Structure 1
């Protein structure tokens, strides 16, 4: 990748937020802490399907329904009221998830090297604001965007084009940052540059185009730029 990007678009759920930080809420609801990953992947699956079918799905609505279904499967004798309460407790915890340790210093560092920092999430912008709002990263943020306002979830091309249009930057001037290869592949196909945050030592899927940058944290990304 040549030249520093004008703007970095950051995915939010799992990229910025630490899903492991809400494992306790799953336990309290009668599930296992590791079920948060199954919940998250199920929400993505159904949201992607809705987008392909032309619907503009609500992340919160799908998340609540998936949580309720998981609790019901584990505890079929619980009342509807109990299932609703358990699902709501999980969703409340998701909104209150904590950022990964590298996120706040990484956003600050990106801003300090002259890159505009913008979130682009499939969920509500309120979740991203809450995640960063009480941290030093808040002052470094340019804006918070949601794919819902584009009519469909990433990796739909419309989601990335929506972000580029609102930011007033061309694809070649923008960098999409995510832990999810599918997210980066969607961005790559509309001409954006891509940065993979690989915190786990995973292997990038060979069936997608390689990211322009691979780093282990947002702090490392700022150093590279």
Structure 2
């Protein structure tokens, strides 16, 4: 029996993996005159989320997103208003799902996998971002790093899911479009599945864990996971 057959649960990242981050681009186009700044802002957001965790600090992801927007704007001598910050938070909470998401989730559920989410975003009141995107009901559970006050890829975030579900980490597979997320999950025993969304690639280096499954289409990625063996023998 392969190790893949032990996997019973797929753990999905949310922002950019399931929900389309590019829908934030018009805000950055308006504020900075180019949508390209969105990628700079998001990279800084990830950097500072990890910096806070490494230095023993925590602030909710949406608040951090606003703070980083102010920082990037100050670097470019652009004035950001409270309305701009509110607009960013509103857009983050209303991102649509990619077209390949619902079919892939349905396919995995029908194959017998349990599906859950693990996001850096804090829990929000209904309707949640996933409810607005129309895919919340396809998941069995939703988890947030807010429960441990540490951002991914800290080991405690991935262990949280295993502990809450009463599973060994070897029974879990992290599916994300950020290689740092799959690397973090694999470091505590998960399998890794990488979906290559635009501007996201795998880091190919010796001694760096490589994802067990890789594709640029979520339905194809689901097929790979299913072909490796059903969740229970």
Same fold, judged at TM 0.5 (above): yes
Residue 183 (structure 2) pairs with residue 181 (structure 1): no
Q: CA deviation at 1:30?
A: 4.2
**Bigger relative contact order, structure 1 or 2 (CA pairs below 8 A, ≥6 apart):** 2
- Show the counterpart of 1:202: 201
Q: In 1, distance between residues paired with 2:32 and 2:197?
A: 29
Q: CA deviation at 1:75?
A: 4.9
Deviations 1:86-126 (A, max 9, x none): 12212211211122221122122211111111110111233
Q: CA deviation at 1:17?
A: 1.6
Preserved CA contact (<8 Å) 1:58 1:123? yes
TM-score (normalizing by structure 1): 0.88
Unmatched 5+ stretches in structure 2: 227-233
Q: 1:53 aligns with which of 55, 73, 76?
A: 55
Q: CA deviation at 1:50?
A: 0.5
Q: Aligned-pair RMSD on alpha carbons?
A: 2.3
Q: In 2, distance between residues paired with 1:123 and 1:181?
A: 18
Deviations 1:40-67 (A, max 9, x none): 1111111100100111232111101111
Identify which range, 162-171 or 196-205, moves more after superposition: 196-205
Preserved CA contact (<8 Å) 2:11 2:175? yes
Residue 134 (structure 2) pairs with residue 132 (structure 1): no
Q: 1:66 aligns with which of 59, 65, 68?
A: 68
Q: In 2, distance between residues paired with 1:214 and 1:171?
A: 20
Distance 1:69 1:204, change over 3 A: closer
Q: In 1, distance between residues paired with 2:12 and 2:167?
A: 15
Count of residues in Structure 1 that have an aligned counterpart in Structure 2: 221
Q: 2:98 aligns with which of 97, 100, 111?
A: 100
Q: In 1, distance between residues paired with 2:222 and 2:32?
A: 40
Unmatched 5+ stretches in structure 1: none
TM-score (normalizing by structure 2): 0.85
Q: Secondary structure at the match of 2:5?
A: coil
Q: In 2, distance between residues paired with 1:191 and 1:183?
A: 13
Q: CA deviation at 1:142?
A: 0.6
- Show the counterpart of 2:211: 211
Q: CA deviation at 1:210?
A: 1.1
Identify which range, 209-218 or 134-143, moves more after superposition: 134-143
